[in-house]
Amino acid sequence: MAIKRLFVANRGEIALRVVRAAQALDIETVVAVSEADRDSAAARLADRAIVVGPAAAAKSYLDPRLIVHAARESGCDGLHPGYGFLSERSILPRLCNQHDIAFVGPEPDMIDALGDKLQARAMAGAAGVPLVPGSECIASAADARREGDRIGYPVLLKASAGGGGRGMVIAHNGDDAEAGFHRASAEAVAAFGDGTLFMERFVPEARHVEVQLMGDGKGSVLHFGERDCSVQRRYQKLIEEAPCAAMSDALRAQLHQSAVDLAASVNYRNAGTAEFLFDVQRQEFYFIEVNARIQVEHPVSEMISGFDLVQEQIRIAGGAGLSVAQDDIKLSGHAIELRINAEDAARDFMPSPGRITRWEPPTGEGIRLDSHMSAGAMIPPYYDSMVGKLIAHGRDRSDAIARLVAAIDEFAIEGVPTTLPLQRAIITHPDFVENRIHTRWLEQVVLPDFGKAAA
């Protein structure tokens, strides 16, 4: 049954994005807001806004029972979690199921299965997807040394329940492996309440490539191409682009098929992203994990495919199934996205909450801005510092870069420092222009020089 009233359980640009997608489908919207977000752009655009708690996220956006209660009381028959917050916690869809609210995302059991990286790795292996050479569960420092010796150094210790770089440690020898076990396990317990670790071969100059998927929960799965997310700092993405220009068409087809096979083998429902490590020298890709939600970087996939992924999510959750076939998805051009954060990159990315006194975004062919900001808007200190996403689409990668540089130069933001100066330095760097990047390139090459220039 189609969703008639959608509860948006998030904030910022993704809340605004979901409200607009729902309204385009003639669906009423109710947005959850904290006390700090009463006057947010999403609250103003939605049909109704409900204050679910104080500014502290733990007592508002992160309380699943409070969120579902607000959805029920407002008469909503659907709920979109956005990304972050509760989007990958199975308790939210379980509560939705109990109260006949359609959850815009995967089934709760699937979220649990994919949230455990060891279990997800086993699922990928069963589907015939290439895996990074690695281990099963590592129970002790001695296990870490033994597995590291077997796999061959360098290796990466990873938290099974982890994400965002937490609980991840590189080991270059046996002593590193033993010390890394204790550090990674402690980080994992602190961050996720679960210290379970496993190990993978570390590829020093790898790329992070991911495939955008959409499934109907009955074995039918579509892909919307791949994204290259290799510009990272501390395992956090700063710039994403589509497609991956370092990959041959033949290998790209194999990557897409592997991602689809994995999702189809588990009857995946709604939006998801299969993430892979791409070893450019070996021309091989390996499965990393599946993110069971819409991603921050989904706009680049929309720009090259021409499809609205959030609308597709909502239709699937309402029981409509997939609206298109794979042959209907024609990928064209190149798109690049910048995550604009209110941070001072010259001061170790210090968050910079405050009021935006000037906000004059760029315009022009191929330019898209996903943001909830405007002149006079306040950036509160309680949440993620992202203020928007600037996306450029061009005929090819060079055209997209040129359009993005022009858009940055046109973009006037005052009142708070942002990461745009750094991102301009990144996309105009000869290595980026010539596509010689990897996941550690930003930290090894750009940031040291950027810091010196800023000083």
Residue 119, token pair as written in the block: 């279990």
- Strand runs labelled E in 217-353: 221-233, 236-242, 269-279, 284-291, 334-341, 343-344, 350-351
159 and 212 part of one domain: no
The pLDDT assigned to 269 comes to 98
89 and 219 part of one domain: no
Instruction: Identify whether the C-beta of residue 34 lies closer than 8 Å to the C-beta of residue 52.
Output: yes
The pLDDT assigned to 453 comes to 60
Q: Provide the CATH number for the domain around residue 192.
A: 3.30.1490.20
Q: Provide the CATH number for the domain around residue 74.
A: 3.40.50.20
91 and 76 part of one domain: yes
Residue length, the chain? 455
Within 10 Å of residue 201's Cβ, how many Cβ atoms? 18
188 and 271 part of one domain: no
- Residue 318 belongs to some domain of the structure: yes
Q: Which residues contact 375 (CB under 8 A, 6 or more apart)?
A: 356, 357, 358, 359, 360
52 and 177 part of one domain: no
156 and 177 part of one domain: yes
In the sheet with 169-171, reading across from the earlier edge strand, the strands are: 169-171, 155-159, 197-201
- Residue 117 belongs to some domain of the structure: no
3-state secondary structure at position 18 = helix
SS3 content of the chain, % helix, strand, coil (to 5): 35, 25, 35
Range of the domain at 94: 5-104
3-state secondary structure at position 240 = strand
Rounded to whole angstroms, the Cα distance separating 284 from 28 reads 46
235 and 267 part of one domain: yes
Residue 169, token pair as written in the block: 């440690």
Instruction: Identify whether the C-beta of residue 188 lies closer than 8 Å to the C-beta of residue 197.
Output: yes
- Residue 113 belongs to some domain of the structure: no
192 and 80 part of one domain: no
Q: Which residues of the chain have pLDDT under 70?
A: 164, 451-455
Work out the burial of residue 152: count CB atoms within 10 Å of its CB; fewer than 13 is exposed, 13-18 middle, 19 or more buried: exposed
266 and 356 part of one domain: yes
Domain boundary among 104, 125, 159: 104
* Residue-wise burial string across 257-270, b where 16 or more C-beta atoms lie within 10 A, e elsewhere: ebbbebbbbbbbbb
327 and 393 part of one domain: yes
Q: How remote is the C-alpha of 409 from its chain's centroid?
A: 26
- What's the chain's average pLDDT? 95
Q: Provide the CATH number for the domain around residue 315.
A: 3.30.470.20
The pLDDT assigned to 451 comes to 66
Instruction: Identify whether the C-beta of residue 138 lies closer than 8 Å to the C-beta of residue 198.
Output: yes
The pLDDT assigned to 133 comes to 87
211 and 248 part of one domain: yes
The pLDDT assigned to 167 comes to 84
Positions marked active-site? 293
Number of domains in the chain: 3
24 and 170 part of one domain: no
Domain boundary among 86, 104, 122: 104
3-state secondary structure at position 110 = helix
- Residue 114 belongs to some domain of the structure: no
The pLDDT assigned to 134 comes to 86
Instruction: Identify whether the C-beta of residue 274 lies closer than 8 Å to the C-beta of residue 213.
Output: yes
- Residue 124 belongs to some domain of the structure: no
- Residue 176 belongs to some domain of the structure: yes
Domain boundary among 181, 201, 221: 201
Alpha-carbon Rg for the chain in angstroms = 21
The pLDDT assigned to 15 comes to 98
- Residue 127 belongs to some domain of the structure: no
Q: Which residues contact 448 (CB under 8 A, 6 or more apart)?
A: none
